[in-house]
Structure 1
Amino acid sequence: MATERQDPVTGKGTTGHEWNGIEELETPVPRVVLFFLAATTLFAVVYWLLMPAWPIGVTYTKGLLGIDQREIVTQQVEDAAAARAVWTGRVAEADFAEIASDETLMRHVRDTGRTLFIDNCAVCHGTRGTGGPGFPDLAANAWLWGGDPETIAETIRVGINSTSDETRVSQMMAFGRDGVLDEGQVRSAAAYVRSLSGLPLNEADRARIEDGAQVFAENCAACHGEDATGSTDVGAPDLTDAAWIYGSDAQTVFSSVYSGRQGHMPHWEGRLSPVDIKILTLYVGTIGGDGQ
């Protein structure tokens, strides 16, 4: 008959198993582990009885409580839509000024508008609306077509150089590439334009300003205006402010004059509802802090 070996350190018996001189103690499973095993098993059985649980062919066990998660979610969605309809109905009926003066409505507009903006506009304009190379900074309040709510809404609706039949159309000529101006004239025009914003110029560019002013008057003023402050009629930007869509360094401005520019913004009519366009319009108006 085998005699149980005792561990000299703990005094407990061993199982007789040994690995490299280490013997396994005969240690019983702690009672707390058995308790939780029993408790979780009981919970699982009760849950299976009360709640939808087991698939059975084309259906599943419904549970004694008759709870249907799909019905619950459907009801929650309907409740949320009904709650949303209360304030979206007011947005649809009121004009922009009325909505802007109603702080309760504007809280909804800011919350929902931010979601709409991030989902649809942030890929180009950035999550904060500050734009990037080729995409306008909406926080700068430098509007190409006008910054009043009605105009912003129209721009969102029809887009710019988009596939909409009503799209806004804007394009800057490629003065150098198409041979309208030679390279020297392009450099002079670029130097003059940069001087309008107070940008630092090197000595060569400072010497070109006078000639650039003449080139500008003869070729650029028709769209950008004699004072270079732009025109919302044709979407021509103000060249005297600090907002530059493509960049203000000498090479980028030269490239703009030489090769021309044609921005693009998709139209959102048909993709966003009229109410969503209205909400987005009001939200965009708040990005620059003008309160529109």
Structure 2
Amino acid sequence: MAVEQPDRDSYTGYLTTGHEWSGLKELDTPVPRVLYFFLTLAFLFSVGYWVLMPAWPLGVTYTRGLLGTDQRALVKASLQDAALERGVWSKRIETEDFAAIQSDPKLMDVVRETGRTLFGNNCAACHGVDVKGGPGFPNLTTTSWLWGGKPEDIFNTIRVGVNSAHPDTHVSQMPAFGRDQMLAHKEELDVVSYVYALSHPGAKDVDPVKVEAGKALFAANCTACHGPDAKGNPDVGAPNLTDRFWIYGGDFETIDTTVWGGRQGHMPTWESRLSKLDRKILTLYVVDKRMPGP
């Protein structure tokens, strides 16, 4: 009786398993030797790791490993090192004046990193993550500051706020010249025309006659706060009306809304919410974000 010979693939030379699907035969391909090599390597690594490192739980404890590595100890040491490092730069920022800190590149790197987090957590909701504000909230990257743009002024504003609950808060109120009938409607529009022309010199969409009439009315009603040159007064938080930096908007309609109904901004006091160090870092961060220019 003849012995049946195993089926062998004529192309690869491998034996088949005897399984066939739609004319396709399954080859009995041997496992590549390189796979055994890597499996062996992984096994040896596992055994070595189990011996050297903490690995197996043993009830309330675990195998410590020959190296005695303790992740909790490493994290604790890392936190201690970070606290020591923070203590060094925080002490310098607390004690040195603004100019000295600004002239130290390493300290300013710390200010930028730490200040970004502080600003994002506390100020970005109003002033935006880009520090450029929005309708009703000042753009802090400009040089136009209501209460003064020196670091000392900004630091104090962060401390006391504007129209806040702090006893030393900045107090600011733009009267409602139209709503409260301090000016007749025509007079109010003349003032708006003059104010609009201040920040839009050469604009052809305002009547020169109204601008001239508004100039006289401005001198009689607005210079006490905004100054005779309309460039503002940081002592009372009155903005410069001659530039293009507007909190609520500098188009004719928005200026009309402001003069007619008045404005009263609000900024919370941060003295009880943030430490003096954090407020100083925020001040330096904001100053560092300011764009150069007039």
TM bin, normalised by shorter chain, reads 0.7 to 0.9
Matches of 1:14 and 1:253 in 2, distance apart?
Answer: 88
Q: 2:149 is matched by which residue type in structure 1?
A: G
Which aligned pairs between 1:22-171 and structure 2 lie closer than 5 A? 22-55=24-57, 60-171=62-173
Q: 2:97 is matched by which residue type in structure 1?
A: D
Q: How many residues align?
A: 291
Q: 1:81 is matched by which residue type in structure 2?
A: A
- Which residue is 1:12 aligned to? 14
Computed over aligned residues only, the root mean square deviation of the Cα atoms, in angstroms, reads 2.8
The CA deviation at 1:30 is: 1.2
Q: Deviations over 1:108-141 (max 9, x none)?
A: 4344434433443344334443333322222221
The CA deviation at 1:274 is: 1.1
Query: Percent same amino acid among aligned pairs?
Result: 55
Going from structure 1 to structure 2, the CA distance change for 1:59 and 1:218 (only over 3 Å counts) comes to farther
Q: 2:222 aligns with which of 216, 220, 223?
A: 220
Q: 2:253 aligns with which of 251, 254, 279?
A: 251
Going from structure 1 to structure 2, the CA distance change for 1:28 and 1:228 (only over 3 Å counts) comes to same
Asked if structure 1 preserves the Cα contact closer than 8 Å seen for 2:197 and 2:206, the reply is no
Going from structure 1 to structure 2, the CA distance change for 1:2 and 1:235 (only over 3 Å counts) comes to farther
Q: TM-score, normalised by structure 2?
A: 0.84
Asked if structure 2 preserves the Cα contact closer than 8 Å seen for 1:191 and 1:201, the reply is no
Question: Is the partner of 1:28 in helix, strand or coil?
Answer: coil
Asked if structure 1 preserves the Cα contact closer than 8 Å seen for 2:142 and 2:291, the reply is no
- Which residue is 1:269 aligned to? 271
Question: Is the partner of 1:142 in helix, strand or coil?
Answer: coil
Matches of 2:264 and 2:129 in 1, distance apart?
Answer: 23
Asked if structure 1 preserves the Cα contact closer than 8 Å seen for 2:163 and 2:169, the reply is yes
Asked if structure 1 preserves the Cα contact closer than 8 Å seen for 2:160 and 2:269, the reply is yes
The CA deviation at 1:104 is: 4.9
Going from structure 1 to structure 2, the CA distance change for 1:12 and 1:213 (only over 3 Å counts) comes to same
Asked if structure 1 preserves the Cα contact closer than 8 Å seen for 2:193 and 2:214, the reply is yes
Give the unaligned 5+ runs of structure 2: none
Going from structure 1 to structure 2, the CA distance change for 1:105 and 1:203 (only over 3 Å counts) comes to closer
Going from structure 1 to structure 2, the CA distance change for 1:240 and 1:13 (only over 3 Å counts) comes to same
The CA deviation at 1:192 is: 1.1
Q: 2:241 is matched by which residue type in structure 1?
A: L
Q: TM-score, normalised by structure 1?
A: 0.85
The CA deviation at 1:105 is: 3.8
The CA deviation at 1:193 is: 0.7
Going from structure 1 to structure 2, the CA distance change for 1:147 and 1:7 (only over 3 Å counts) comes to same
The CA deviation at 1:47 is: 2.0
More displaced stretch, 158-167 vs 236-245: 158-167
The CA deviation at 1:57 is: 5.2
Q: 1:19 is matched by which residue type in structure 2?
A: W
Give the unaligned 5+ runs of structure 1: none
Q: 2:290 aligns with which of 281, 288, 291?
A: 288
